């Protein structure tokens, strides 16, 4: 089966890859581009482990075709830190022990970042509903919610 040549931008870098038309964007990121920080937990858009941002919109990369990436701006967990400087959310997740196994963590960080860019001062309820599509089976969400709220507060202070 012939593949389609795709040019796109991932974390600010221009990249090219060949996509089988059946590949999801998640497949393309992981298998074609080697960006395995984005995870597959379900393949049906129900767990959020594959969360990425495409042209400013938070999406499940398992629900998008790789060929749809043509010409888009894609942000993944690998682009979240600025060199050695972690994003406040990343720091707060470590500080609050907001991860146990860590498998859902990239998706939750990407989703939380999208939230705080849209709403810098979310209530606990708003954080919980925004992240309802990101399953975590280890933590019971408590420390995740606290880490997001704390990061939001720090970012507001810095702004």
Partner 1 sequence: MNYHNPSNFSDAARIARDASGVTRFLAGGTDVLVQMRAGAVTPHDIIDIKNIPGVDAITRTADGGFIIGAAVSGAQMGADADLVAAWPGVVEGMELVGSTQVQGRATLAGNLCNGSPAADSVPGLIAAGATAQIVSADGVRDIAIEDIPAGPGRSNLVKGEVIASITLPARGQGGGDAYLRFTPRTEMDIAVVGCAINLTIDGDVITSARVALGAVAPTVVLVPEAADAIIGTTLDDAAIAALMNVVSAAAKPISDKRGTAEFRKDVVGVLAKRVAKIAYARARGEAV
Partner 2 sequence: MAKDTNTSDFRYIGTRPARPDGLDKVTGRARYGADIAAANMLHAAVVRSPHAHARIVKIDTSKAEALDGVKAIVTRADFPTGLTGEDWDLQENTMAGERALYDGHAVAAIAATSPHIARDAVKLIEVEYEILPHVIDVDDAMAEGAPVIREGAANKTVPEGMHPNVVKYIEFGHGDVEDGFAKADLVMERHYKTEATHQGYIEPHACMGQLGADGKGEMWVCTQGHWYIRRMCAAVLGLDTAQLRVTASEIGGGFGGKTTIFMEPLALALSRKSGGRPVKLVMSRSEVLRATGPTASASMDVKIGMTKDGMLTAGVANFRMQGGAFPGSPVDMALYCAFAPYQVPALQHIGYDVLANRPKCAAYRAPGSPMGAFAVESLIDEMATELGLDPMEVRIKNSSKSGDKSSYGPKFGVIGLEETLAATKAHPNMSIPLGPNQGRGIAAGYWFNHGGETSVSVALSEDGTVQVSVGTPDIGGSRASMALMAAETLGIPYENVRVNIAETGSLGVNEPTHGSRATFASGKAMHGALTQAINEMCRRAAGKWKIDPEAVEWRDGAAVPAGPNAGQFPPMTIQEIARKMKNTGGPISGHHESVPDGVGDSFGAHVVDVEVDPETGHTKILRYLVVQDAGRAIHPSYVEGQYQGGAVQGIGWALNEEYVYDNMGRLQNPIFLDYRVPVASDLPMIDTVIVEVPNPGHPFGVRGVGETGITPPLPAIANAVAAATGVRIRHLPITPTKLLAAIKAK
Binding site for partner 2 (CB under 8 A): 1, 20, 22-23, 27, 30-31, 34-44, 46-47, 49, 76-78, 80-81, 86, 90, 93-97, 99-106, 109, 125, 127-129, 131-146
| φ, ψ for residue 21, nearest 5 deg | -65, -20
CB of 13 to partner 2, least distance (A): 15
Residue 95 touches which member of partner 2, partner 1, none, C-beta under 5-8 Å by kind = partner 2
> DSSP readout, 30-48?
IIIS--TTS--S-SSSSS-
Q: How far is CA 124 from CA 7, 49, 94, in A?
A: 39, 21, 19
C-beta of residue 60 within 8 angstroms of C-beta of residue 107: no
List 12, 44, 83, 84, residue binding partner 1 (CB under 8 A): 44
Contact yes or no for 110/58 (Cβ under 8 A): yes
Looking at 17, 93, 130, 141, which residue binds partner 1 (CB under 8 A)?
130
User: Contact at 8 Å (CB) between 145 and 115?
Assistant: no
- The entry of partner 2, partner 1, none near residue 149 (CB within 5 to 8 angstroms by kind) is none
Q: Which two tokens stand for residue 144?
A: 């995740």
Site residues for partner 1 per CB under 8 A: 1, 4, 21-22, 24, 43-46, 48, 51, 54, 57-60, 62-65, 67-68, 111, 114-115, 129-134
């Amino acid at each position: 089966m012939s593949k389609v040549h795709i040019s796109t931008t991932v974390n600010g870098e221009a990249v090219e890859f060949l996509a089988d038309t059946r590949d999801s964007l998640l497949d393309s990121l992981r298998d074609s581009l080697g960006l395995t920080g984005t995870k597959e937990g379900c393949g049906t858009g129900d767990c959020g482990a594959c969360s990425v941002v495409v042209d400013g919109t938070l999406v499940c990369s398992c629900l998008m075709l790789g060929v749809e990436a043509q010409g888009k701006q894609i942000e993944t967990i690998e682009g979240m830190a600025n060199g050695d400087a972690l994003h406040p959310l990343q720091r707060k997740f470590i500080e609050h022990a907001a991860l146990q196994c860590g498998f859902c963590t990239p998706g939750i960080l990407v989703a939380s970042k999208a939230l705080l860019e849209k709403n810098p001062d979310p209530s606990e309820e708003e954080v919980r509903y925004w992240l309802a599509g990101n399953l975590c089976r280890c933590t019971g969400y408590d420390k995740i919610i606290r880490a997001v709220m704390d990061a939001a507060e720090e970012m507001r202070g810095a702004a």
